[in-house]
Structure 1
Amino acid sequence: MIKSALAIFTTLLFIHAGLAPANAQTTTTAKKTIVKKPVAKKVVAKRTVTTTKTVARGSLNNREKLVRKVSVVKGKRHVSYQRVSAAPSVSPVPPVMTAGDIAGLNMTPDPLALRSNVALVVDPANSQVLFEKNSAVALPIASVTKLMTALVVVEARMNMEETLTVTDDDVDREKHSSSRLRVGATLSRDDMLHIALMSSENRAASALGRNYPGGLPAFVAAMNAKARSLGMMETHYVDSTGLSSQNVASARDLAKLVVAAYNYPIIRQYSTDPKYMVEPSGHALQYNSSNRLTSNKEWDIGLQKTGFINEAGHCLVMYTRIEGRPVVMVFLDSKGRLSHVGDATRMRKWLVEDQPKNLTRVKMVRADQG
């Protein structure tokens, strides 16, 4: 009886303390048995500030990379390494091949290491060829086309003050090029010609052709007829902008076009202006020249036109004076946004430094022999 009372007292003591004796999992009363379970203590985790820096250590193979992780925990620096799957390699997008590249013209060497597949330098006074590279090959000429567009417009003697309206027909749906002239914008034929020559505005050139008597088909026919009259036998036009790669010509033909267009002061002025302001539908817009050489005081440029589409590369034609001597330069299918300008600068330096030899006659080996 005493032991039973002592056991009950001990059990009650442990229950009050929140514990149960190791050898007493149950408490027996006269009426029922109560099972007591141990009460788990709450564990509060201490906050740890971790800073991790991951540094790639290089490739283990084509599929895995070793990554070095640097962690700072409670002010202590820990370094670990982990293998991770490498991202699959992506093949580079191949460069767009121009028509000249496809024809193999990029394999033609020249002493100036020009980036243009085609080059021609001519003295217009006597038709002497000072430099020549693939000059008889017909290639896409991009916006150099606009020089013939200007020639046809000027020789048609149309009313230059007539207002022309940009329509949906002038929107470029072939190359999707942008334009600052919105559909519905109005400008005089004179202003359209100005920004088409100076800044290569495509919608302006399209509007000029479309507003020719007989429309664009008649205008293109007039362009091709003018080319034939100038002896441009490797030339063919299909539009007034040059956006189509079917507008083709050889450097020899373009030299003839430059000389013919140079006879018109309006084409000389409009093509060489560095900037010009127009107000289509009353909104002022400033256009800049597409040829930065027009603002370069070291150059004396009497006429110029640039051009670019993927098939043609970068193109440039100029009538300039070097050491007081008139020179026509033609560069077609050049690689790089300013490469045609760089080639012109390189050519000018070459002509000046090697005088009088270079300004007499230098003829390069051509890919179009025969």
Structure 2
Amino acid sequence: MIAFATVGIFAAQPLSAQVARVQPPAQEDAPIAYLQDLTSGQVLLSREADRRFMPASITKVMTTFLSFEWIEEGRLVPRQVFTVDPVVWDEWNNVGSTMFLPNRARVTVDDLIHGVTTVSANDGAAALAHGAAGSIEAWVSAMNAKARETGMRDSHFGTPNGWMDNGKTFTTARDLGLLAATMIRKHPSKYRHYVGRTEFTYNGITQPNHDPISGRVPGADGIKTGFTNQAGYGFLGSAERKGRRLVMVVAGSPRSSVRDRAARQLLEWGFQEFEQTRLLARGAILGEAQVQGGDTGAVDLVAPQGVFVSLPKGADPKVKMTITYRGPLRAPIAANEQVAELLVQADGMPEYRVPLHAAEDVGEAGILDQVANGIRGWLR
């Protein structure tokens, strides 16, 4: 059973007039385009967001995310040193983008991740995968398991670096947006340390980052470009301004210059054409959910990060918020456990959902609790 409770309907205040309008990139410049506001959770633009394509080097974002996860779990340590395997070196030496790893070089995990994120090192991704998992195949298997765990439903990886593999590696813009959002939310300090650097020096060789937005779009900090002859040029990027973060994907662009322009245009459109309003403060109690078998019959629900809505400038829509959960919930419930969602509907915009967490622990009911809960249920 799914329970519903309307929290409220709000009329948004009229927003400031727009002087010079920014448009999203044209279809021919970015056949695939996706823009999400991570602060509110809204999707602001979705063009062919579920169409599968070959991500090429954008694959390395999953290798980066898996590295962050393994560091968090203690399975990798940034100062840890790997020796480049001769077989891996022979396969990947000077293949595509490279950090110029010598054969049998001793290299830290920190340098390998920087090589992957900053100069798109194919050899670095392969050496990291082999050193961390014991084989590239085992690492790729872990990449796919992590993709499923993250909720990426239309993605599969065949290599750690996205090199051509006869179509085994594919993804969608929506999945890449989810990957970026999860990486940024779960690992903010690692993201700041490894992503968005303008250059990287290894073994005396300095190479620039070819990210088209960092240093060009205010607040931009990465994330990764990609190119294949079959799929064209793509980019997964993110930027933050005044506490508001956007994640974007463009793919299928015919030339790198077109992709770069489309990426910058999409972010500027998101920041300039939408204004954000806070509907509910961080930690505000939105309502309650019924609990079965608990030492109390209900639990308060909170939105840990607050509730925000981004609306087109000049718009004045009504915003409706409804609590939904599959209930009654069953005890025990831990404080801060996600147990429900807030459905937010604004006229003219795609609906979106905000996770709601339990405000406090709910233990399993004792005999007296069961009697009291039964009496309360009968009185209703």
TM-score above 0.5? yes
Going from structure 1 to structure 2, the CA distance change for 1:255 and 1:202 (only over 3 Å counts) comes to same
1:120-199 aligned at under 5 Å gives the runs 120-157=34-71, 158-166=76-84, 167-171=86-90, 176-177=95-96, 179-184=98-103, 185-199=105-119
Matching residue within 180, 183, 206 for 2:126:
206
1:213-362 aligned at under 5 Å gives the runs 213-244=133-164, 245-262=167-184, 263-264=186-187, 265-279=189-203, 284-296=204-216, 298-322=217-241, 324-356=243-275, 357-358=311-312
CA distance in 2, matches of 1:344, 1:174: 31
The one-letter code sitting in structure 2 at the alignment partner of 1:203 is D
Question: Helix, strand or coil for the counterpart of 1:272?
Answer: coil
**Aligned-pair Cα RMSD in Å:** 2.7
Q: Shift of the alpha carbon at 1:341? A: 1.6
| Aligned position for 1:118 | 32
TM-score after normalising by structure 1: 0.61
Structure 1, unpaired ranges of 5+: 1-109, 365-370
Percentage identity across paired residues of the two chains: 25
CA distance in 1, matches of 2:95, 2:114: 22
CA distance in 2, matches of 1:307, 1:228: 22
Summarize deviations over 1:173-214 as a string: whole Å, max 9, x none.
799525351541442111011011111011000111111234
> How many pairs are equivalent?
250
Check whether the contact 1:150–1:267 (CA below 8 A) recurs between aligned residues: no
CA distance in 1, matches of 2:210, 2:225: 7
Structure 2, unpaired ranges of 5+: 1-22, 276-310, 316-345, 351-380
CA distance in 2, matches of 1:241, 1:111: 30
Q: Shift of the alpha carbon at 1:142? A: 0.8
Greater CA deviation, 253-262 or 310-319?
310-319
CA distance in 2, matches of 1:211, 1:246: 23
CA distance in 1, matches of 2:57, 2:214: 17
CA distance in 2, matches of 1:322, 1:133: 24
| Aligned position for 1:24 | none
Check whether the contact 1:314–1:332 (CA below 8 A) recurs between aligned residues: yes
Going from structure 1 to structure 2, the CA distance change for 1:363 and 1:239 (only over 3 Å counts) comes to farther
Summarize deviations over 1:308-345 as a string: whole Å, max 9, x none.
12223211111212565211101112111222220022
Question: Helix, strand or coil for the counterpart of 2:214?
Answer: helix
Greater share of residues in strand? 2
Q: Which has the higher contact order (CA 8 A, sep 6+)?
A: 2
The one-letter code sitting in structure 2 at the alignment partner of 1:163 is V
CA distance in 1, matches of 2:222, 2:25: 24
Going from structure 1 to structure 2, the CA distance change for 1:142 and 1:325 (only over 3 Å counts) comes to same
The one-letter code sitting in structure 1 at the alignment partner of 2:82 is L
Check whether the contact 2:50–2:174 (CA below 8 A) recurs between aligned residues: yes
Check whether the contact 2:37–2:245 (CA below 8 A) recurs between aligned residues: yes
TM-score after normalising by structure 2: 0.60
